[in-house]
Amino acid sequence: MLTKRTMTLSTLRGRGYINGMDFDVRPYTIMSKVGTYEVWEIINDGGMDHPFHQHVNAAQVLSVQGGDAAYASLYTSIPAMKDTVIVPGWGKVTLLVPIKDYTGMTMFHCHIVEHEDIGMMGMWHIMPNDMPMPM
């Protein structure tokens, strides 16, 4: 079974959010299992581009909506694994994320340092495949 996730990047009143959650207050947290694949849809809820970066497992860009068409074709015309992809303002990116061999806690975030610092960052717990998912 393929897990599908949606993450919305936004800013409001000087704070950064993923799915409405500020890392400094209550971080958005996901759990994955080694040996699986996930489809992540990253939505940009504002006009400024956000370079989205996930640690440990690079992903294949399946589609880019919004922004310049030539930019989108750079990501999708030749399949390649990326650990950072620009999510265009008011656009979205769909990623195929293979969960390879790392287990433990890692992160995903906007790769603009100021946006990380204001909370646009999430926690990613990667568990062994034989471990039950917590409820």
Residue 39 is predicted with a pLDDT of 98
Looking at the predicted structure, is the pLDDT value of residue 106 above 70? yes
Residue-wise pLDDT tens digits, 14-46:
999 999 999 999 999 999 999 999 999 999 999
Do 18 and 40 touch, CB atoms closer than 8 A?
no
Fold classification of 3-127 is Immunoglobulin-like (2.60.40)
Measured CA to CA, the distance from residue 75 to residue 18 in angstroms comes to 23
Looking at the predicted structure, is the pLDDT value of residue 135 above 70? no
| Token reading at 10 | 């936004």
Q: What is the mean pLDDT of the chain?
A: 93
Measured CA to CA, the distance from residue 10 to residue 48 in angstroms comes to 10
Residue 133 is predicted with a pLDDT of 67
Average pLDDT over residues 96-101: 94
Domain boundaries, the chain: 3-127
Do 29 and 123 touch, CB atoms closer than 8 A?
yes
Global model pTM greater than 0.85: yes
Q: H helices then E strands: how many in the chain?
A: 2, 11
Is the Cα dihedral 7, 96, 56, 82 positive or negative?
negative
Q: Which residue has the higher pLDDT, 71 or 95?
A: 95
Residue-wise pLDDT tens digits, 59-84:
999 999 998 888 878 777 888 899 99
